[in-house]
Amino acid sequence: GQNIDQPTEMTATEGAIVQINCTYQTSGFNGLFWYQQHAGEAPTFLSYNVLDGLEEKGRFSSFLSRSKGYSYLLLKELQMKDSASYLCAVYSSASKIIFGSGTRLSIRP
């Protein structure tokens, strides 16, 4: 079966750091994406991991452990505009991305 789990909601404080976890069980694995989605808008690409380890891109970092079926997205120096849903998604085959249900992140001042 195909299963991607991530917390439904999280709250964090402006300027702080937050880590959003994702675990997955899929029939195939060709990489893992993190997308950001604001309400009513399309997902926008944040990161892509295909090898184990940490990928850093500005205030955002993403980690992957393929053996554990685990990833996290780390957001630093949180800003109010970071309030959005964060979608963990697995490239299960060359043609198909499977999305998790998303984590709705609320940033408080």
Partner 1 sequence: EPEVTQTPSHQVTQMGQEVILRCVPISNHLYFYWYRQILGQKVEFLVSFYNNEISEKSEIFDDQFSVERPDGSNFTLKIRSTKLEDSAMYFCASRKGLEDRGSYNEQFFGPGTRLTVL
Binding site for partner 1 (CB under 8 A): 30-31, 33, 37, 40-45, 48, 50, 87, 89, 91, 93-102
User: Smallest distance, Å, CB 3 to partner 1?
Assistant: 12
- SS3 assignment, position 47: strand
For residues 64 and 89, the answer to whether their CB atoms sit within 8 Å is no
User: Smallest distance, Å, CB 16 to partner 1?
Assistant: 27
Minimum CB distance to partner 1 smaller for 69 or for 102? 102
